[in-house]
Every structure is written in structure tokens, then in C-alpha cells.
Amino acid sequence: MHSFHYRNGVLHCEDADLEALAAQHGTPLYVYSAATIRDHYRRLDQALHGIDHLICYAVKANSNPAVLRLLAQEGAGFDIVSGGELHLVRAAGGEAGKCTFAGVGKTKAEIAYALEHGVHSFNVESEAELEAISEVAKETGRVAPFAVRVNPDVGAGGHKFITTGKSENKFGIGLERVEQVYADAARLGGLRPVGVQMHIGSQITEAGPFALAVERMLPLVQRLKAAYDLEFFSIGGGIGIMYQSSLASGDNEWWHRRDVGAQPALTLEGYAAAVAPLLRGLGVRILLEPGRLLVGNAGVLLTRVLYRKTTPAKRFVIVDAGMNDLIRPALYSSYHEIVPVHQRAADAMRESADVVGPVCESGDFFAQARELPVTQSGELLALMSAGAYGFVMASNYNTRPHPAEVLVSGAQAAVVRERQTMDDLTRGTHLPAWL
């Protein structure tokens, strides 16, 4: 589901009027729906009912501390990829003991920080990393719980930058080498095998690749469980969401329609139905690492139209958000639905236009040759499905301050991150005395 709908002709997030939020807090503005995040978390949890499991939210998708707190309150664990993410989880009230630490390039300082706070486990991506973890553990007199990230060589996922489960990717250790790595770990010392992990990619919109990868892993999981009494099997994240909706036509029910857009709809229930039968009876706890699924459709980026511009070749709608605020269209050619916050009549005038930002790059676009209702300067637009990999990938490029973030629950709306100020742009910089 998601909680964005037109009410009295104005787009709302739950019971909050988005025009009012933009007027109060300025644009560009990220707005998140707490109800959507909770609903997605609870539905996934429910769909896995009967299987011992822990949902470890992939913090990289959206690390706003309020989002982390909300999920911690739901009982979530966390999939972290840096010392910074562990710091945020702890600051938000999440438990380090429920954090799985992934990533191909953990530094020794990060490993030490994670060991000190007692993370649930390290997902190990190479033999060299395992050696580093062993060294840090022995130096600090601790034992590091670990799981090897296995690369099951299953291709899936939307864009080539976010496919991870093929053997040509930098992630994980090949199926054929994994058992040797567990054997070596015993010799290295300071390590305790507790699980095994896989992750095949992101924005996967069919259940098939997930089921195939789990099936490929099962014999290995069973052998490792017998040999090391493993506690868990993590099946990673990657569940895709619908980016293409029919909200633009005023239809609020798009999320459970099957006929909109080019994407096949993978529901979280469909995902669970595909993998649960394979996992039941394994005798180990199942860990999941969803990011986008929980937060993607829970957020929008509000932006105001600054100018219209027509060239002999094209029509441009220039908005006040840029690729530095939401980079997905520029980086992955991703599709984000764009809707006017003030609802249009079904027969309102439409045009084909490029929606572009103010950044000095031709790649600074949110849509190209998109059929949209005609919008005028000053109008508010919503870039939909911006809750995942939105703000977290924002930069200060073109020396633009980071936008603010607002979390909505019912009629309540709280600023959960302030817009950066001019002072923030100079903070931490120094002019040397010799200049």
C-alpha cells in the first residue's frame, strides 16, 4: 500500500496536506508516511508467520533516525554497511545485537566498533576480510560471530549497477569456495560461525530469482548447519516495488492492480509464498534484509516548478529539486511517477515535457518526454516513490543545501531533519592562514 491520495483535490500523505507542508517547510522537501512503513513491515512479518525469522531493515535505503526508531519499535533488526549506520541505529534506539554488518570494505576501525557494541553478526565477503575480523577480535579479546555471504550466481534486478548475485560482481564468495572458508575460520581464531547469507540484487520484480537462489543454497545451508550448528540463513533483500502507478489519473488503488505500467507486480505476499515453503523445516532462523520494500513507496519528494522553457526541440519544466536531491533518474534512468499536488480533472490539458532540475548537468532530469498535465511556475509537484535511495544518496553538488525531511503519522507531521543552512555549507571548512 501507500498513503498518498487526493483529498478535496489536494495530494495528502495520510491526513497531512502536502501543499500546506510545502508552504510551511519549503521545497524541495522529502515527506514520509509512518503508516506505510509500518504496514509494509507488518505485512512482511505476517506473511512469514510460522517461520522463525528476523527482518533486518537495510539502513542504506533510508537512514533517517526517525525511520530507524519507528522500525526498531516494530521489532526490526538492521542490516548495516558502515560504522556510521551502526552509530545511527544506536542513536535511534535500535539494538546493536540485532544488526548484521555487511559490505565488501569494512575497515578495522569499523570492525572494532561493531565488536565493541556486540553486533549480531558480520556478513563476510572475502577471505581477506575474514582475516581482518579475526585479527581485530583476537586483539580485543572478543569472538566475532560471522556468516559468509555466498554469491549464488543468479542474475536478477533492474539495473546493471544494482545486480549483485552474479559471479562477475564484487559481492560474496562463490558457492564452490564457501565451505573451505568456514574451515579456514576455525584455524584463524577469534571467530564463531553463526550463519550463512546471500543477496542477489535490488528492485527484483518477480519471485522466480529469489526461489531459484534459495534452492541453490539449500544443500549448502544443510551441510553447514550439520557441521557448525549454524543459527541462521539470511536470504538478503531486493524485493522490488511499483514505481509506475496510475495516481496521476486519480486512481488511489494502484498498488494492488496488476495491469498498470510495464512492471509485473511482485507483492510481498507473493514473495513470501515463493520462498517460505523452501525455508520451512530448515531448522535455522531466517533473516531478511529488505530496504526499498519497506520505505520506497512511503516517501515523496515535493518540488516547485520554477520556470517553463521551450526550445525548438523540447519543452522543459524546470523545478527546484535537482539530481543532487534525488539521483536515481540520472544514475539508473529510473522511473519516478510525477504528479501535481493539486489534482487535475481527467480532461485537463496535457503535454510532453522534460522535468529538469537547476544543476548544471544535462543528466539533471527527473523525467524525459513525459506526458504530464500542463503545470505553471509556482505549482507543486510530487516525485513519487522517493522514500528509498532518495535523501540517503543526496549530495551538496552545485553547493545546494540538503532538503528537509518530514515524517507524517495521521494528521501529525514532524520535521525529522532540518534543511541545511548556508552556515552548514561552510561548516568544517578552513581557510589556511597562509592564503
CB atoms within 10 A of CB 93: 11
Nearest approach in angstroms of CB 177 to ligand LLP is 18
Binding mask 71-100 for ligand LLP (x = CB under 6 A): --------x---------------------
How far is it, in rounded angstroms, from Cα 114 to Cα 117? 5
Check binding of 293 to ligand LLP (CB under 6 A): yes
Q: How far is the CB of 203 from ligand LLP (least distance, A)?
A: 6
Quote the CA–CA distance of 339 and 246 in Å, as a whole number: 10
**Residue 202 interacts with ligand LLP (CB under 6 A): yes or no:** yes
- Is 162 among the residues that bind ligand LLP (CB under 6 A)? yes
Q: How far apart are CA 85 and CA 80, in angstroms?
A: 6
Q: Which stretch binds ligand LLP (CB under 6 A): 89-97, 107-115, 231-239, 257-265?
A: 231-239
**156 near ligand LLP, judged by CB under 6 A:** no
C-beta closer to ligand LLP: residue 53 or 199? 199
Segment 205 to 224, residues that bind ligand LLP, using CB under 6 A: none
Q: Does 54 bind ligand LLP (CB under 6 A)?
A: no
Q: Give the integer Cα–Cα distance in Å for 243 and 240.
A: 9
Measured between alpha carbons, how far is 416 from 382 in angstroms, rounded to an integer? 19
Q: Does 151 bind ligand LLP (CB under 6 A)?
A: no
Which residues face 352 on adjacent strands? 371
Q: Are strands 380-383 and 338-340 parallel, antiparallel or unpaired?
A: antiparallel
Q: Is 124 in the site for ligand LLP (CB under 6 A)?
A: no
3-class SS at 237?
coil
Note whether 173 binds ligand LLP by CB under 6 A. Answer: no
- If the CB atoms of residues 33 and 203 are measured against ligand LLP, the closer one turns out to be 203
Is residue 58 a contact residue for ligand LLP (CB under 6 A)? yes
Residues in the chain: 435
SS3 content of the chain, % helix, strand, coil (to 5): 35, 25, 40
Pairing of strands 10-13, 4-7: antiparallel
Hey, which residues does 10 pair with through a beta bridge?
7, 342
For residue 265, the 8-state DSSP code is: P
**Cα–Cα dist 330/321, whole Å:** 13
| Segment interacting with ligand LLP, rule: CB under 6 A, options 91-99, 261-269, 288-296, 364-372 | 288-296
Does the protein bind ligand LLP through residue 325 (CB under 6 A)?
no
For residue 313, the SS3 value is coil
Closest listed residue to residue 248, CA positions, set 333, 344, 321, 378: 344
In the complex, the smallest distance separating the C-beta of residue 238 from ligand LLP, rounded to whole angstroms, is 4
Using CB under 6 A as the binding rule, the residues of this chain from 388 to 417 that contact ligand LLP are: 388-389
- Does 102 help bind ligand LLP (rule: CB under 6 A)? yes
Residue 172 interacting with ligand LLP (CB under 6 A):
no
Binding site for ligand LLP (CB under 6 A): 58, 61, 79, 102, 162, 164, 199, 202-203, 236-239, 289-293, 328, 332, 388-389
